[in-house]
Chain A
Amino acid sequence: MIYLELFWAFCKIGLFAIGGGLATVPFLFDLSAEKGWFSIADLVKMIAVSEATPGPLGVNMATYTGVQTAGVLGGIISTVGLVVPMFVVIVVLSHFLKHLRKNKWLDAIFEGLRPAVAMMILSFVIGLFVMNYQTADHMGRPLLAVLLSVCYVILTWHFRGHPILFITLAAVMGIICG
């Protein structure tokens, strides 16, 4: 039963992939070798599509692998399999957190975790700027990328519009300039 196998395979990935979407990739390589549902070449293509399209990378990968392996139903079952374990973990944790919130020590520890998260986000942003430059350099339009990036930072700094608006604008600019 392919559906049951898919569900179970992605349950395991959801439970063991700690640290976000990219963490699922090594598990998918194993899955490719073990089950032969898709080739490594398929996987590379799936990563490329999953990274560029909207939505969390891990979820995109699960849907893509599922659809490739067993059609639309396969995609739904893989995705549900992926998210069920983490959903259960977070709901249970949230339940306990409600009571623990009154604990002074726990509150104090979060005081120290927040600045760490903020700096990890900053590090992520710098990484994105660098990656965008490298991609554009590879495509032969590094100057255009730098120019647009600078304009976008100035824009987002001065106008607090809805991100959907900015993203739509950026897509249009991409089509015009590309």
Chain B
Amino acid sequence: MLTYWKLFWSFFKIGLFTFGGGYAMLPMIEKEVIGHKWAKEKEILDYYALSQVTPGIIAVNVSTFIGYKIRGFLGAICTMIGVILPSLIIITLLASGLSKIWHAEWVQNAFWGVQLMIPALITPIVLRMIQKGSKTLLSIIVMIMAFVLRQYGVSPIIILCIAGVLTIIYFKVKKKK
């Protein structure tokens, strides 16, 4: 039972301290999931890849994947509910009467301040990922492709499809040699 509660609580915190969803929750996942040794970094990247190409909100999908991986169906329910519950509570409060607080200047400034921190929190994680991940010719080719195409606004789904095709070609060629 303890684990279900722990799972829920970790993902409740992730939901509460994620501003922007999807990739923005990476620093919280690194601390709460990889830090607890519940999943490895490369598994998280796999879940992001899969969440990009499946229907739904990336943050919810990644949370469900992790929950299922750790404790099966019930684990997935814990992490999914955990990650959406803070939104449900905060937005319900804001939408039903607390909007005055929202418009207070100090609240706006606090949220503005938080927005500045989000990219800074992801920067060291993503740079370490890139450094660790760029060991093979394949990964370097894929990285250049993904970055350039993304800068031109190509959809992540198409980028991942191209990456998949490149990988198959790479391993076929490698096998022949």
Q: Which residue of A lies closest to B48 (CB)?
A: A117
Known: A21-B21, A82-B57. A120 touches B121 (CB 8 A): no
Per-position binary interface string of chain A over residues 47-59, scored 1 when its CB falls under 8 Å from any chain B CB and 0 otherwise: 0011111111111
Q: Which of A56, A85, A115, A155 contacts B83 (CB 8 A)?
A: A56
Most B C-beta atoms less than 10 A away, residue of A108, A112, A125: A112
Known: A114-B49, A156-B120, A163-B121. A86 touches B57 (CB 8 A): yes
In the complex, what distance in Å separates the CA atom of A68 from the CA atom of B126? 38
**Cβ contact within 8 Å between B116 and A132:** yes
**Shortest distance in angstroms between A148's beta carbon and chain B's nearest beta carbon?**
5
Most A C-beta atoms less than 10 A away, residue of B25, B42, B45, B96: B45
Interface residues on B, range: 35 or more
In the complex, what distance in Å separates the CA atom of A55 from the CA atom of B57? 11
Interface majority SS on A: helix, strand, loop or mixed? helix
Q: Which residues of A contact B48 (CB under 8 A)?
A: 117, 121
**Cβ contact within 8 Å between B53 and A54:** no
**Cβ contact within 8 Å between A118 and B87:** no
**Cβ contact within 8 Å between A93 and B17:** no
**Cβ contact within 8 Å between A149 and B120:** yes
Could you list 5 A-B pairs, sorted by A, with CB under 8 Å? A20-B22, A49-B91, A56-B57, A59-B21, A164-B17
Please give the residue numbers on chain B whose beta carbons come within 8 Å of chain A beta carbons, in ascending order.
13, 15-28, 31, 42, 45-46, 48-61, 64-65, 68-69, 73, 76, 80, 83-84, 86-88, 90-92, 94-96, 102, 105-106, 108-124, 126-127, 129-130, 133-134, 136, 138-140, 142-143, 145-147, 150-151, 155-157, 159-160, 163-164, 166-168, 170-171
